[in-house]
Structure 1
Amino acid sequence: MSAFDGPRVDLSSRLGDVPWARLEHAYDNATDIPALLVKIGGSEHPEEVVEMLRDRLLHQGFVVYSATVEAVPILVDLVSEGSCPARPAIVRLIGELAGAAVQVGPEHEAKGRWSRMWRGKLPLMAELLRDHDVEVRRFAPSSLASAEFDQDRFLARLLDTCAAERDEPARLAQLIAIADLLPVVPPAFGDATVGRVRGIVSGGSPQVRMAGAIVLHQVETVGAEVFLDALRAPDVELWRQTWCVPGRRQSIVYWVDQRLREDRDLRRDLGKGLLASADAANRTAAFEVLMGVASTWRSPMVDVAAAASQALDDPEESVSSRALFALAMSRPREPEHADRLAELAGGPDGYPRLAATWGLARMGDSRCVPHLLASLRCDHLGYAHHRVYGGTLSYPVLPSIDEILLLAAAWSDRLLPDVARRLSTTPPGLERRALLRTVTEWGPVARGALPVLVDGLAAQDPTLDLIALAAVGPNAHDVPSGLVRQAFERASAVPSVDQVALIRAYARITADLGPVLAALPDAGSDEPLPASSLHLIGALGPAGAHYAGRLEQLMPGLGTWATLGAATSHWEITGETAIGGRALAGILADLVTGRPAGVADLLALRRITEMGFVDSALISVLRFIAHSEVRVTGPGEWQDIDLDETLAGLARRILDAQI
């Protein structure tokens, strides 16, 4: 059956049968959908109309709207008719909608109606595999890749079509749809599929062989070379004509990397192999692959460092800058890597100098100090396109200058005079916030900044100055109590101020518990404790012991952040570790089931370490955190790698203390 054999669609009748005003899409009710469906046939730019439909029916890509269930059958019939404009764009949209519907759970209100509708319409989409329009054939397999029923029948259809297809992008698209269906068909049918795929791809082009490797990778070991041959070949651009890989050339590499999923060794070999490519885009993408592997597995960091060191002299700046970023991120231990970073840190102001300084600080190499001092003395912190926060699209984003200074805390005595001097001349803004955060995190070792912090109390918003002052720990004679009180009153009036942090800082500086008590309900009343109170009670110290009973009753039913506050406060007012420690350990318990760790887990583990709490249940979680080869944070950026390594380090220290 060709696409022209289908029935003519009576669009006006079909649209009139649907109560669009009672349906919804991403933005509102669906009353505008009929006009868009009609406009496809009458617009000079029908592809733009299809994009407008995509925006409404596929917003953020994970929702099946009630309007989608009614619009898709009309779209399927339009493309099946054969004379509709923009048929490839419509087929692609239908495939994207089907892919999104697969991700929606059965509890979703529209899921059942989608499934019933799709069972009737997917066979029509299968007919498009042999459509007269080659672009339609390239996009048609996407719908079948998401089949949730009769997968063996659709897989057989794809195999037959693929064996006869002469258009290479269409064949690639069909092979990837086969790869998606292979895991869900009966084993015997899967074995026959693998045999047929071997025959189809044998002697094919590099791209066809790579598509076949993506299928075969699910059942056998596949080497990286078949992927490297394809990604280096000029015809790799064929993938951009399929439903699989939209976007830039690097997107093809990222897509292949995602397809290889948990095969760490294959992905590592792919990244290392791409560094030898003559194409700078491939060499740049190589670091995305290697960093992606490192963000999931703990062991490949040495591979990242070696590859990055090799590429530092690449003539393409996009490659060398990512190599420098990767080297700094990987915390290399080899002396030659540290020497190279020190050489780059001595260069002119710019991204390489700051990135190399960051790398030295991460390694614990004191050669970072002169370059940090230079940054503190120049017109801007960081470099021209990276003042304190943010970055540019052309570079991997470096941490802010305060984060680099915190990594260099071991040399705070050498850095503090310049931090204090810069702080004294910096007006309110991001730079001042960064410097105040540095002083706050350095804590008591930054007492040399006391005069500057006292001067800062006269600012219109002295919140961060007060918090920093509390962290460095002034004595009673270091700052007039009246000045602190006035600063506290001004800061309290600032909109959106963190009242808990502000009140705790004020109490720590002055030992005045009045503001703490004023913010808390009476311990003997039945008034509920708000979330802020759970974090604030601990500021009372032993004077708040009468709140202990209420905290104990609340802790079993609290959420993560409330538990952090309640457990910490209970410990601060009672000195007891068992109740709060068990509550904090409960935050960590489900990490062993695969939940990715986050900042709250690190805070809980730090508090447990401060308490000195440990029990048998916690020990099993700590062993998992410390010894799992897979990162407990899951895939992420370099910040997640740092979070994972910090968690693992804390877990190991607690475990070592038990031996």
Structure 2
Amino acid sequence: MDLTRFFADVDAQPWADLHHAYGSAADIPGHLRALAGESEEAASEAISELYGSILHQGSVYGATAHAVPYLARLAAAGHRTEDLLVLLGGIAEGGADEGDSDEAACRTAVAGQLPLILARIDAEDPGLRRAAAWAAAMTGAAGQVLPALRMRGKTETDPRVRAELLGAMAHLDPPGTAAEATGAIGAHEPGEVRIVALLACVDGGLPWGAAHHAAMLSLLPANDLVQDRLDLERNEPLQYVVEELLRRDTDADRAAAYTLLDAALRSAVPEARAEAVWAAETACLLSRSAPERLAGAVEALAADPADVSSAYSLLAKLGGRAAAAVPVLARLAGGEGDPADRALEALVAVAPDRAAPLLARDLERRPRALAAACGSLGGGTSGTPFPYDAVLLDAIRARLRGGGPGGNETIRLALLLGAWGSRASAALPELRSALPGAPRAVPKALVAICPPEHRETTAEFLTAAARTGPADGRLPAAAAVRELTGDTGPLLAAVADRLTPGGPAVQEAARLAAELGPEAVGLVPALRSALSGSVGERTSPQLDADAEIAAALWRITGDPEEAVPVLAGVLAEAEPTWMRWTLGRAARAAALIGEAARPLVPALEGLLDGRVQVPPVVLALHAIAPEHLDGPRAAALLLEAAERDDDAATALEALVALGPPALTPDHRRRLTDLAERDLRVRASGLEPGIAPADERLREQAREAARGLT
């Protein structure tokens, strides 16, 4: 390749007008020159920079597709060919097959370089053959790529290249590759090929039979067999197989998955058991029946303290069903340092009664266990409150008296005391002294533990905090006074003080004003002045605050003349892709207003094809103008939202509001499935909270199904 002409072409391109992850793409010519230069260090740095800019964490940009032909030409000329083929495959990997998105343009661009890529399928270097096979498959151009892969497969002898070829064919044609994969799972094949063949069998939709089960177990531990593969999605084979079988959501596939997991957890090979533990954790996040079905294998794990220490997270997910591990956990939790804290963290979930005295004994040095006991910072994510323990209460009081806690620890201690309620009343003095360290968490906890005879003095203390305490704790302190005594004076004053236009607490202050209703009529001028004024340039927090202010104005005055125009502005300005929750908040405010919010109906109807905002929008339309709702269509949209966990709780609430006439027999079947299926509906978020949140959602679905029959 004539590099002079090549770079003349490169320099003629409008790179400065194109953009990548870090802005202008004017730096791309320099990276291309480094790739073609003699310095290996500079070329390696250029590759790294390109991954960071034109393929940033899997995302592509306008400059990415423009760079593809130049990357391909450098690869064809022998400049960092393997690295560039892998980069091209990554650029194509996340692309769409059609449309005008950057992703589609990138895939099309890489597909346009297939002649250059496929020419390396027969390269002498096995690494080049592997990279070419993977990159070609990522284009999705099965018609061009599959014949070349199959032809190469007939003569390929390198096990790793054969594995990459088989994986590439399975990616392009899962059903069509299943037969070939089935023939490759036997012991006559190298392990690298057998494991990819098993993955291809799963991807091809084949039933998981005895031969697959036996082959998978014989290959464990399997992670090393795929460590060099370019397909990072399948780099933990046992976990991948279990997940895919569970996602099929059939009795036969579930049985196959749990039979495989049980056998792997009982393996005589420690590394195989370690892979099985991770796969079992994944099962717990996906499957409602996982804790019960995995409990039997815990006894086998509990026989070896080393296994228990590598399975803390799994044991915590199993909870009480991991009781067989309690003796080992308790012994490990009695040790020193972080290992003991991790063991105690698991014991909190498995046997909280056994965990409490161990936590009390060394409270200061058990931050993980304390976080688990209080349900982490958010509170309540663990599903059930940590049991009251008098010894632990004394330890908490001593810790608070010592003045040592700060930040998160104080918040967690306040959450734990608040969960115990009046049983923790002895800690009232210590909790009051902790207010400066956790001004938002302590007031609520004080209300929870305060006995009747101390309400007056506690209210006086909180009133002072609402006036002169830390700024971010004044609203919580004032709200606590109202809860203790019914006195709204401190809250009215605190809300007025925080209704500063553009201030950080406007949304919270407006919400509290709304709760006060007509009693907060004196706050109306402050609420009006707190509305954002930069129409067309408002941020999401500003729009959120305006929606709360609109709701407050309605709740206080009962006059829609001010609230409805404010909500109309929010609905018109909030961008549906990035401000879905803002739109949902505005829709809920509109639902409060009811029929008087009819001017908002066209804007709300236009949101019904969205995602997260659909449930509150249906609630709003049902409250404002039910005649505008097509009941069965609305029910279908709500069920779709619930099934993909887009504000599923609100979706179920809206289904109940629509009532039985809106549901077809198929809708009822789907609602029952949400409640009774094995796959979790809630499968994202912080891991400790996934199962409890899903159980709450499951019960809500059951109640909805009963109410809609």
TM category, shorter: 0.7 to 0.9
The answer to whether 1:50 aligns with 2:47 is: yes
SS at 1:118 equivalent: helix
1:497 equivalent in structure 2: 504
Query: What code does the residue aligned with 2:585 have?
Result: W
* Of 93, 108, 111, the match for 2:104: 111
For residues 453 and 143 of structure 2, the distance between their equivalents in structure 1, rounded to whole angstroms, comes to 68
Shift of 1:196: 3.5
1:413 equivalent in structure 2: 422
For residues 454 and 297 of structure 2, the distance between their equivalents in structure 1, rounded to whole angstroms, comes to 42
Query: What code does the residue aligned with 2:221 have?
Result: R
Range moving further from structure 2, 309-318 or 13-22: 309-318
1:23 equivalent in structure 2: 18
Shift in CA distance, 16/467, structure 1 to aligned 2, threshold 3 Å: closer
2:29 equivalent in structure 1: 34
Would you say the 8 A contact 1:96–1:143 is kept in 2? yes
For residues 377 and 613 of structure 1, the distance between their equivalents in structure 2, rounded to whole angstroms, comes to 50
For residues 128 and 96 of structure 1, the distance between their equivalents in structure 2, rounded to whole angstroms, comes to 17
Would you say the 8 A contact 1:268–1:289 is kept in 2? no
Would you say the 8 A contact 1:625–1:632 is kept in 2? yes
Shift of 1:276: 3.4
1:322 equivalent in structure 2: 313
Shift of 1:76: 2.1
The answer to whether 1:342 aligns with 2:353 is: yes
For residues 635 and 443 of structure 1, the distance between their equivalents in structure 2, rounded to whole angstroms, comes to 36
Query: What code does the residue aligned with 2:292 have?
Result: V
Shift in CA distance, 16/480, structure 1 to aligned 2, threshold 3 Å: closer
2:611 equivalent in structure 1: none
Equivalent residues in 2 for 1:417-566, closer than 5 Å: 417-418=426-427, 420-429=428-437, 431-436=438-443, 438=445, 448=455, 450-461=459-470, 464-467=473-476, 469-470=478-479, 473-474=482-483, 481=489, 484=491, 486-492=493-499, 496-505=503-512, 511-516=519-524, 518-520=526-528, 532=545, 534-536=547-549, 539=552, 544-547=557-560, 551=564, 559-566=583-590
Shift of 1:213: 1.3
2:180 equivalent in structure 1: 196
2:681 equivalent in structure 1: 632
Would you say the 8 A contact 2:681–2:694 is kept in 1? yes
1:80 equivalent in structure 2: 76
2:62 equivalent in structure 1: 66
For residues 597 and 422 of structure 1, the distance between their equivalents in structure 2, rounded to whole angstroms, comes to 45
Paired positions, count: 611
2:134 equivalent in structure 1: 142
Shift in CA distance, 520/530, structure 1 to aligned 2, threshold 3 Å: farther
2:216 equivalent in structure 1: 227
For residues 211 and 25 of structure 1, the distance between their equivalents in structure 2, rounded to whole angstroms, comes to 35
For residues 637 and 321 of structure 2, the distance between their equivalents in structure 1, rounded to whole angstroms, comes to 28
Range moving further from structure 2, 285-294 or 362-371: 362-371
Deviations 1:413-471 (A, max 9, x none): 213553x4443111434x44333455689999999564543342243435545345536
RMSD between superposed Cα atoms in Å? 5.0
For residues 488 and 565 of structure 2, the distance between their equivalents in structure 1, rounded to whole angstroms, comes to 38
Range moving further from structure 2, 420-429 or 589-598: 589-598
1:652 equivalent in structure 2: 702
Would you say the 8 A contact 1:436–1:468 is kept in 2? yes
Shift in CA distance, 444/88, structure 1 to aligned 2, threshold 3 Å: farther
Shift in CA distance, 452/320, structure 1 to aligned 2, threshold 3 Å: farther
Shift in CA distance, 444/105, structure 1 to aligned 2, threshold 3 Å: farther
The structure whose RCO (Cα within 8 Å, separation 6+) is larger is: 1
Would you say the 8 A contact 2:499–2:506 is kept in 1? yes
* Of 275, 292, 299, the match for 2:265: 275
Shift in CA distance, 229/635, structure 1 to aligned 2, threshold 3 Å: farther
For residues 491 and 112 of structure 2, the distance between their equivalents in structure 1, rounded to whole angstroms, comes to 73
Shift in CA distance, 635/475, structure 1 to aligned 2, threshold 3 Å: closer
For residues 543 and 506 of structure 1, the distance between their equivalents in structure 2, rounded to whole angstroms, comes to 8
Deviations 1:483-511 (A, max 9, x none): 55554454445974332432453575793
2:691 equivalent in structure 1: 641
1:3 equivalent in structure 2: none
For residues 405 and 196 of structure 2, the distance between their equivalents in structure 1, rounded to whole angstroms, comes to 41
Shift of 1:126: 1.8
Shift in CA distance, 441/133, structure 1 to aligned 2, threshold 3 Å: farther
Q: Which runs of 5+ in 2 are unaligned?
A: 328-346, 537-541, 573-582, 598-619
Percent identical pairs in the alignment equals 22
SS at 1:164 equivalent: coil
2:539 equivalent in structure 1: none
Shift of 1:657: 5.4
Shift of 1:580: 6.2
For residues 446 and 361 of structure 1, the distance between their equivalents in structure 2, rounded to whole angstroms, comes to 32
For residues 570 and 334 of structure 1, the distance between their equivalents in structure 2, rounded to whole angstroms, comes to 55
For residues 206 and 195 of structure 1, the distance between their equivalents in structure 2, rounded to whole angstroms, comes to 18
For residues 26 and 675 of structure 2, the distance between their equivalents in structure 1, rounded to whole angstroms, comes to 56
Shift of 1:287: 4.2
The answer to whether 1:125 aligns with 2:117 is: yes
1:396 equivalent in structure 2: none
Shift of 1:208: 1.7
Query: What code does the residue aligned with 1:346 have?
Result: P
Would you say the 8 A contact 1:594–1:632 is kept in 2? no
Shift in CA distance, 498/356, structure 1 to aligned 2, threshold 3 Å: closer
Query: What code does the residue aligned with 1:210 have?
Result: I
1:98 equivalent in structure 2: 92
* Of 247, 251, 256, the match for 1:262: 247
Would you say the 8 A contact 1:162–1:174 is kept in 2? yes
The answer to whether 1:170 aligns with 2:178 is: no
SS at 2:150 equivalent: helix
Shift in CA distance, 453/332, structure 1 to aligned 2, threshold 3 Å: farther
For residues 443 and 655 of structure 1, the distance between their equivalents in structure 2, rounded to whole angstroms, comes to 40
Q: TM-score, normalised by structure 1?
A: 0.75
Shift of 1:58: 0.3
2:623 equivalent in structure 1: 579
The answer to whether 1:239 aligns with 2:239 is: no
Shift in CA distance, 656/260, structure 1 to aligned 2, threshold 3 Å: closer
Shift of 1:624: 5.4
2:662 equivalent in structure 1: 617
Shift of 1:146: 1.7
Query: What code does the residue aligned with 2:356 have?
Result: A
SS at 1:59 equivalent: coil
Shift in CA distance, 24/470, structure 1 to aligned 2, threshold 3 Å: closer
Shift in CA distance, 71/473, structure 1 to aligned 2, threshold 3 Å: same
SS at 1:512 equivalent: helix
* Of 634, 637, 641, the match for 1:590: 637
For residues 158 and 214 of structure 1, the distance between their equivalents in structure 2, rounded to whole angstroms, comes to 18
Q: TM-score, normalised by structure 2?
A: 0.70
Would you say the 8 A contact 2:91–2:107 is kept in 1? no
